[in-house]
A = this chain, B = another copy of it.
Amino acid sequence: MMYGRYTQELGVFAKEEAARLRESGQRRSVTERSRALDLLEYEKGRCAKCRRSGYPYVLEAPAQDFISVCTVRCQKFLISRVGEDWIFLVLLGLVMAMVSWVMDFCIAICLQAQKWMYGGLDSNVLLQYLAWVTYPVVLITFSAGFTQILAPQAVGSGIPEMKTILRGVVLKEYLTFKTFVAKVIGLTCALGSGMPLGKEGPFVHIASLCAAVLSRFMSLFGGIYENESRNTEMLAAACAVGVGCCFAAPIGGVLFSIEVTSTFFAVRNYWRGFFAATFSAFIFRVLAVWNKDEENITALFKTRFRLDFPFDLQELPAFAVIGIASGFGGALFVYLNRLIVQFMRKQKAINKFLMKKRLLYPALVTLLISTLTFPPGFGQFMAGKLTQAESLVTLLDNRTWAKQGIAEEFDYIGHSQAWKHPEVNVFVTLVIFIVMKFWMSALATTIPVPCGAFMPVFVIGAAFGRLVGESMAAWFPDGIHTDGTIYPIVPGGYAVVGAAALAGAVTHTVSTAVIVFELTGQISHILPVMIAVILANAVAQSLQPSLYDSIIRIKKLPYLPELGWGHHEKYNIRVEDIMVRDVRYITLNCCYRDLHNVLLTEHLKTLALVESAESMILLGSIERAQLQLLLSQQLGRPRRLEYIRKQAVAEKKRLSVLSNPSSEDSSPRASQEVRFQISTEESSANPTRPVLQKPLKPALKRSSGVERPTEMPTGPQNNSGIALKNLFCASPVTEGLEIAEWEEKQLDEQVNFNNCKIDPAPFQLVERTSLHKTHTIFSLLGLDHAYVTSIGRLIGVVSLKELRKAIEGSVTVKGVKVRPPLASFRDSGTSSSENEATELHKLWDHHKSMSLPREHTPSASDEKSQ
């Protein structure tokens, strides 16, 4: 036995030596690179000079040289700097601010156009109606069709997908330039239609798309952009940018994106998010100032509540009521949304019809909603002519609408006039608005266009808060304060609280509070907002999943549900209760036949590699594709051809013994080769061999011929796979028997893992790891599966599926709680050492018993591996 020592001095010496070598190496590479760059730049400079025909001889030669040198230096400097994070973040922020601003601009124009059309046709109500209805129908239908054709991935909010991607799952086509274009244009049209749709969710997706595209573009300059973990970090920052530049709310954006997309958040990414989101929000607002929309950088929906006494302590119960009611409302919204989607899916008749005419559903929904909001019609009872932004501005107004319950006393000006109806009380208007908008928003968000639900929910929450506030103002016209001073109640403050609470309840986030502060530019209501948001979250989280989790479940994305809080059982369930004990594995000295069998019976992406079936010591995991590659190499074309060639040579020799050869050696061999190749191609088109029903060999052929192409992942293996397929069906009938024999022999050979990529340290858990810890580890590391080992021996596997089942079983609130078995037979406190001892004892016994048969095996495996 050897016991090593930390050879400190040796390590230091090696480091110094390496540093010296590295420095010289770096210097060399830098100089080489700069030389190459100089050359490139020089040539480019020449070309540019030639092309600049207008004033080529104005500058003298030295000046030109100086300029070109400067350009080269600048460019070199830029290229060296382009790998820095902050350059990327600044670019991302800049681009997203532009996109956001341009989109807002286009949306505003669209909405103005509708108003203009509607206003211009006020002579004829029918024409007016047609104009009011046709415009959104056309826009939504275009948006749905456009996204459907260009990139169906752009449909919906995108936050659920981002959540899944950030968990480490690769969703193809969700981060392409095509999707970016589809999402931007589709979203602009959808929001321009005036439907109750939001911008926030899609913006998170757009920002991520932008980051992915930008990262791909930047990778032209340096290799750093090819690093995967860095890209994930950048995606996390991009999500923050998306919210930040959508609402001009950098802090709230960062927090919201963390809460919505991550399970575990690296604090070092925090900084990136803040930087990019602030820059983006800044540019977004500066663009508005430059465009003379605003005089200065301010909040989007600025409020002007009084600072000295924003609310009374005695009003807090009202705020708490708003919070609790919003919690129920939020859960109802999520439930309603899911119900609509599931109803549309289950109704087969409707479904079939809609599948044929894909654009009919969006058109019908839009027609329904816009008919109901038609201002001269039902819309007059629900402020139908206001856009979302306009409603929000009026709802957050700091004046009271209803004094003493009589609406007439209020001096309605500007947009607020829409809330006033000559015959109907303002309370009724608000109630109708809330109820109608509630189901409309839930319905509208199911339309297959890029859209979010945050903003509609936010507006509904504001309306609800306003309703409570107006009621309070009517109830206590002189305010609640007991002292002599009169502080009238501010219903606008209630609207702020309601908006934050309902948005928080639907999305299960607390950071809506921060978003609200940044949106309104006032933090005076921090306490009521925080109380209401927390209460709303507590209620909503105990009733329904968040909207995004709900969509994840509907779309069946590979997700891992959150552990609820306060469920004690989760600390008591252990991995051994939920793991699959019957693991598929391959052994280090297995033969190709075993490999083949595993591939046939098993459809997992990765397989465990153990030392031997007796010891079960886990050595690593191998991807399925790698095994397929191994198998195809063993039975593949080159070896087969070589075998045939050898056979042919042997045959020829035999023949040459029988009859004296007259021709040369080389030409017949070549022709023979050609003949085989031709026959290969022929037979691949017409498989002449009859399909046998014997278990092993023909199964291989069928599987490799039928199953392989569907499962073969893209990559270098693909070619060999096809070659293999050709070959398998290739052997002419005449040589069938020989080939079959050869195949049998090949299958019995021991697998040579030398050229195989093995993951040598797949994640391992122990039987006694708690569900809580397992969940933490899975979400921290973004695992798909983990092997359960006991002192090195593979005894089980836990995949996302088992974990999800266990969590849903113990955490889900409706339906029967299926707790994993065995969890209840055990106390949480007793991690007794007897248990561990017995386990080791088992291993020990096992080890002893297994060491006996090993005496025989090595010689056999040695022979095989020779």
A229 to B774, CA, bound (A): 12
Known contacts A15-B821, A789-B760; is A597 also within 8 Å of B3 by CB? yes
CB atoms of B565 and A271 under 8 A apart: yes
From 268 to 304 in chain A, residues with beta carbon under 8 angstroms from any chain B beta carbon are: 268, 270-272, 274-275, 278, 281-282, 285-286, 289, 295-297, 302, 304
A821 to B761, CA, bound (A): 23
Which single residue of chain B is at the shortest CB-CB distance from A777? B781
Contact of A18 among B566, B822, B862 (CB under 8 A): B822
Distance between A542 CB and nearest chain B CB, rounded to angstroms = 11
Distance between A771 CB and nearest chain B CB, rounded to angstroms = 11
CB atoms of A791 and B296 under 8 A apart: no
Known contacts A21-B824, A526-B518; is A613 also within 8 Å of B226 by CB? no
Q: What would 11 more interface pairs be, CB under 8 Å, given A274-B510, A617-B619, A753-B840?
A: A18-B819, A18-B822, A224-B828, A226-B829, A263-B266, A264-B264, A264-B266, A307-B522, A760-B789, A777-B781, A854-B855
Contact of A760 among B278, B304, B792 (CB under 8 A): B792
Interface residues as binary, A223-262 with B (CB distance below 8 Å gives 1, 0 otherwise):
1101101100000000000000000001100010011001
CB atoms of A296 and B271 under 8 A apart: no
Distance between A84 CB and nearest chain B CB, rounded to angstroms = 5
Distance between A295 CB and nearest chain B CB, rounded to angstroms = 7
| Stretch among A433-441, A551-559, A580-588, A692-700 lining the B interface | A580-588
CB neighbours of A19 from chain B (8 A): 818-819, 821
Contact of A837 among B251, B264, B756, B848 (CB under 8 A): B756
Distance between A294 CB and nearest chain B CB, rounded to angstroms = 10
A325 to B565, CA, bound (A): 44
Contact of A268 among B278, B562, B757, B857 (CB under 8 A): B562
CB atoms of A824 and B25 under 8 A apart: yes
Contact of A313 among B296, B613, B619 (CB under 8 A): B296
Contact of A521 among B523, B588, B609 (CB under 8 A): B523
A578 to B827, CA, bound (A): 42
The answer to whether the Cβ of A135 comes within 8 Å of any Cβ in the partner chain is no
30 contacts between A and B (CB under 8 A): A1-B587, A3-B598, A3-B602, A4-B584, A16-B818, A17-B821, A18-B822, A22-B825, A83-B568, A84-B566, A250-B530, A251-B514, A268-B563, A270-B510, A278-B534, A282-B527, A289-B313, A295-B483, A521-B526, A611-B792, A619-B792, A620-B792, A754-B844, A756-B837, A758-B840, A760-B766, A760-B839, A761-B766, A777-B781, A780-B780
CB atoms of B824 and A18 under 8 A apart: yes
Known contacts A5-B582, A611-B792, A757-B833; is A85 also within 8 Å of B840 by CB? no
Known contacts A313-B286, A598-B3, A758-B840; is A854 also within 8 Å of B847 by CB? no
Distance between A836 CB and nearest chain B CB, rounded to angstroms = 6
A538 to B755, CA, bound (A): 47
Distance between A212 CB and nearest chain B CB, rounded to angstroms = 18
A259 to B224, CA, bound (A): 26
A299 to B565, CA, bound (A): 31
From 781 to 825 in chain A, residues with beta carbon under 8 angstroms from any chain B beta carbon are: 781, 789-792, 818-825
Distance between A601 CB and nearest chain B CB, rounded to angstroms = 6
Interface centre among A583, A761, A781 (most CB of B within 10 A): A761
Interface residues as binary, A822-866 with B (CB distance below 8 Å gives 1, 0 otherwise):
111101110001001101110010011001101101100110010
Contact of A86 among B275, B566, B858 (CB under 8 A): B566
Which single residue of chain B is at the shortest CB-CB distance from A818? B15
CB neighbours of A313 from chain B (8 A): 286, 289, 296-297
CB neighbours of A296 from chain B (8 A): 309, 311-313
The answer to whether the Cβ of A685 comes within 8 Å of any Cβ in the partner chain is no
A262 to B263, CA, bound (A): 14
CB neighbours of A824 from chain B (8 A): 18, 21-22, 25-26
A758 to B767, CA, bound (A): 13
CB neighbours of A412 from chain B (8 A): none
Distance between A525 CB and nearest chain B CB, rounded to angstroms = 10
CB neighbours of A764 from chain B (8 A): 761, 764
From 181 to 239 in chain A, residues with beta carbon under 8 angstroms from any chain B beta carbon are: 223-224, 226-227, 229-230
Which single residue of chain B is at the shortest CB-CB distance from A483? B295
Interface residues as binary, A493-535 with B (CB distance below 8 Å gives 1, 0 otherwise):
0000000000000000010011001100111101100110010
CB atoms of B792 and A618 under 8 A apart: yes
CB neighbours of A331 from chain B (8 A): none
A781 to B765, CA, bound (A): 13
Contact of A566 among B85, B302, B827, B844 (CB under 8 A): B85
CB neighbours of A295 from chain B (8 A): 309, 483
A613 to B275, CA, bound (A): 52
Contact of A862 among B526, B568, B597, B851 (CB under 8 A): B851
CB neighbours of A538 from chain B (8 A): 86
CB neighbours of A836 from chain B (8 A): 757-758
CB atoms of B271 and A510 under 8 A apart: yes
A251 to B7, CA, bound (A): 49
CB neighbours of A326 from chain B (8 A): none
Cβ-closest 4 pairs across A and B: A4-B582, A18-B821, A22-B824, A851-B858
The answer to whether the Cβ of A772 comes within 8 Å of any Cβ in the partner chain is yes
A840 to B619, CA, bound (A): 11
CB neighbours of A18 from chain B (8 A): 819-825
The answer to whether the Cβ of A343 comes within 8 Å of any Cβ in the partner chain is no
Distance between A269 CB and nearest chain B CB, rounded to angstroms = 9
Distance between A56 CB and nearest chain B CB, rounded to angstroms = 40
A841 to B227, CA, bound (A): 28
Known contacts A309-B296, A620-B792; is A821 also within 8 Å of B772 by CB? no
The answer to whether the Cβ of A594 comes within 8 Å of any Cβ in the partner chain is yes
